[in-house]
């Protein structure tokens, strides 16, 4: 059993052989200029700054032999899996499905829906397309994790308060012991990230734990 002694709110113990890393939505549409994130008026540079951290985290997880699952939020070309309540929300300059600089916004198979190259999946790693914010909704994630015998989950990706937090809460409801890597996740809003970290580890870790990449690396090498 590995132990992250300085995880918050207290030490996180995890069996490496039953632990997987889920990297949420590190996609061009969210991290690069011209994508959906920018059409909503956000500074995508905030998200792009965690790319080196995610690269380091992937290196640590791969060295430990952990299963790695990469998610992509996207929709079918006919938008049959994108309800109007989602497509019409907010006031973006381009909506889901509209043509943009990287193809149709958040549409499966378009360049903008791809994971940024530096953190892309390697052969053998799972890439999971999801139509919602949570990675368990309308996907095979639960079956995949059960088939691998996974009991503990590490999380990274974007955005902290939306797709990452939603998936962690879904996982917590399904009995997984969850830990969010603090320096491998980000929000367009600094206060939203901070609040999410507080919510996850509040009340004795009611949803899960948080820790840094270095803390995880030390635990795996102890």
Q: Summarize pLDDT for 145-202 with one digit per residue, the tens.
A: 999 999 999 999 999 999 999 999 999 999 999 999 999 999 999 999 999 999 999 9
Instruction: Enter the DSSP assignment of 120.
Output: P
Q: Report residue 92's pLDDT band, with 50, 70 and 90 as the boundaries.
A: confident
Catalytic-role residue among 82, 114, 129, 130: 130
Question: For residue range 110-159, what is the model confidence (pLDDT) as tens digits?
Answer: 999 999 999 999 999 999 999 999 999 999 999 999 999 999 999 999 99
Catalytic-role residue among 29, 82, 133, 163: 163
**What pLDDT shows up at residue 167?**
99
Looking at the chain, how many residues does it have? Answer: 222
> What is the phi/psi pair of residue 183, to 5°?
-95, 15
Q: Report residue 90's pLDDT band, with 50, 70 and 90 as the boundaries.
A: confident
Q: In the structure, how many helices (H) and strands (E) does the chain have? A: 9, 10
Q: How far is C-alpha 167 from the geometric centre of its chain's CA atoms?
A: 8
Q: For residue 82, indicate whether it is catalytic.
A: no
Q: Is 222 a residue whose pLDDT tops 90?
A: no
**What pLDDT shows up at residue 163?**
98
Instruction: Enter the DSSP assignment of 117.
Output: G
Structure-token pair, residue 157: 């990706």
Instruction: Enter the DSSP assignment of 116.
Output: P
Tell me what percent of the residues of the chain surpass a pLDDT of 70.
Answer: 100
Catalytic-role residue among 25, 29, 114, 129: 25
Question: For residue range 10-41, what is the model confidence (pLDDT) as tens digits?
Answer: 999 999 999 999 999 999 999 999 999 998 99
Q: For residue 25, indicate whether it is catalytic.
A: yes
Tell me what percent of the residues of the chain surpass a pLDDT of 90.
Answer: 96
Q: What is the β-pairing status of strands 99-100 and 103-104?
A: antiparallel
Residues 6+ positions from 103 with CB-CB distance below 8 Å: 110, 111, 112, 113
**What pLDDT shows up at residue 93?**
86
Question: For residue range 40-74, what is the model confidence (pLDDT) as tens digits?
Answer: 999 999 999 999 999 999 999 999 999 999 999 99
DSSP string, 82-106: S-HHHHTSS--SS-TTSEEBTEETT
């Amino acid at each position: 059993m590995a132990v992250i002694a300085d995880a918050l709110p207290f030490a996180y113990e995890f069996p490496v052989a039953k632990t997987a890393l889920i990297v949420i939505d590190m996609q061009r549409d969210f991290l690069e200029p011209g994508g959906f994130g920018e059409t909503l008026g956000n500074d995508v540079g905030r998200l792009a700054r965690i790319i080196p951290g995610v690269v380091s985290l992937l290196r640590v997880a791969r060295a430990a032999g952990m299963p790695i699952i990469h998610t992509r939020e996207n929709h079918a070309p006919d938008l049959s899996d994108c309800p109007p309540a989602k497509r019409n929300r907010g006031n973006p300059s381009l909506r889901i499905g509209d043509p943009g600089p990287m193809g149709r916004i958040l549409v499966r198979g378009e360049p903008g829906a791809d994971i940024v190259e530096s953190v892309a999946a390697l052969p053998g790693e799972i890439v999971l397309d999801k139509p919602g914010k949570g990675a368990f909704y309308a996907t095979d994630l639960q079956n995949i994790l059960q088939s691998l015998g996974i009991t503990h989950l590490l999380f990274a990706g974007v955005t902290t308060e939306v797709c990452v937090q939603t998936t962690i809460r879904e996982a917590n409801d399904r009995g997984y012991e969850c830990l969010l890597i603090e320096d491998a996740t980000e929000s367009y809003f600094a206060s939203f990230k901070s609040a999410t970290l507080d919510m996850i580890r509040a009340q004795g870790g009611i949803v899960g734990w948080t820790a840094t990449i270095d803390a995880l690396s030390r635990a795996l090498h102890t």
